[in-house]
């Protein structure tokens, strides 16, 4: 069965105690049925990630919210949307196995170090594949750094061979990474980040998904997410070093 997390509408674990499906209710209130074991494990994994690196965990929730909006925009089926919704908060869970000396480093990584960081996609997939009902999530997490032209990792998949959920996640993950502060660079303005996404249309990202992403960003779908509604201006810029892992 599809695993749907309590985080689908940007609800944080601390807020979940009063939600019907959050599983955290004050003492004395009538309890709802316990959530499936698989979902409990997913929620626990997100909490572990937040304890180690809150910025990465919050990034994952932003990615989740926008990825679901894009998936809905292009009319994906309920099963795919549910898988995207459940996989997005944990798409970087494999980074728990990456040494702390690499991820927060402000300077550049060597080729060997970058290859170690890239392992997080496969590690995350291995973690999720061991959970009941987690196979669709593992597939998305493993391939969310694949590129439309086959230049991504870990398996150099291209085009339609990349799982649809992973294609959606790739676009949104890059956008949020570019607009978030990282140890190795300052956040880009939304217009510049969007320009980079559009520039990568047909190379890194599926053209139809980029078009849908632009519509979502510019429309009312993401108004509640605090994202700007208009990126129509042209803004020349110096291309920043793209390190999205």
* Tens digits of residue pLDDT in 133-145: 899 999 999 999 9
Residue 37 pLDDT > 50 = yes
pLDDT value for 133: 87
pTM over 0.85: no
* Structure-token pair, residue 159: 């085009």
Instruction: Count CA within 13 A, CB hemisphere, residue 234.
Output: 1
Rounded Cα–Cα distance for residues 68 and 88 (Å): 9
pLDDT value for 225: 41
Secondary structure letter of residue 233 according to DSSP: S
pLDDT value for 224: 42
Secondary structure letter of residue 32 according to DSSP: P
pLDDT value for 38: 78
Reduced to 3 states (helix: H, G, I; strand: E, B; else coil), residue 118 is helix
Residue 242 pLDDT > 50 = no
> pLDDT tens, 149-199?
999 999 999 999 999 999 999 999 999 999 998 877 889 999 999 999 999
pLDDT value for 181: 87
Rounded Cα–Cα distance for residues 184 and 192 (Å): 17
Residue 9 pLDDT > 80 = no
CA-nearest of 85, 61, 64, 68 to 12 is 61
Higher local confidence (pLDDT), 105 or 33: 105
pLDDT value for 23: 36
Answer whether 232's CB lies under 8 Å from 177's CB.
no
Q: Tell me the average pLDDT of the chain.
A: 80
Residue 238 pLDDT > 80 = no
Q: Return the bridge partners of 197, or none.
A: none
Phi then psi for 185, rounded to 5 degrees?
A: -170, 160
pLDDT value for 219: 81
Q: What percent of the chain has pLDDT over 70?
A: 74
Secondary structure letter of residue 56 according to DSSP: H
Reduced to 3 states (helix: H, G, I; strand: E, B; else coil), residue 185 is strand
């Amino acid at each position: 069965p599809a695993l749907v997390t309590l985080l689908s509408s940007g609800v944080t674990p601390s807020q979940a105690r009063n939600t019907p499906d959050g599983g955290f209710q004050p003492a004395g209130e009538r309890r709802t049925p316990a959530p499936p074991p698989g979902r409990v494990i997913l929620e626990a994994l997100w909490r572990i990630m937040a304890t180690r690196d809150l910025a990465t965990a919050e990034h994952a929730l932003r990615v989740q919210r926008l990825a679901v909006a894009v998936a809905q925009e292009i009319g994906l089926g309920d099963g795919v949307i549910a898988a995207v919704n459940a996989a997005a908060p944990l798409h970087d869970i494999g980074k728990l196995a990456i040494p702390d000396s690499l991820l927060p480093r402000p300077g550049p990584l060597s080729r060997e170090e970058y290859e170690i960081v890239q392992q997080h996609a496969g590690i995350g997939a291995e973690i999720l594949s061991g959970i009941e009902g987690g196979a669709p999530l593992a597939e998305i997490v493993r391939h969310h750094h694949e590129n439309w032209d086959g230049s991504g990792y870990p398996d150099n998949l291209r085009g339609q061979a990349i799982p649809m959920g992973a294609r959606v996640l790739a676009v949104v993950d890059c956008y949020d990474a570019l607009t978030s502060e990282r140890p190795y660079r300052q956040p880009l303005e939304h217009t510049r980040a969007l320009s980079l996404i559009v520039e990568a249309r047909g190379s890194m990202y599926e053209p139809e998904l980029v078009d849908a992403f632009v519509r979502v960003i510019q429309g009312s779908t993401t108004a509640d997410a605090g994202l700007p509604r208009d990126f129509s201006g042209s803004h020349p810029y110096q291309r920043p070093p793209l390190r999205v892992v």
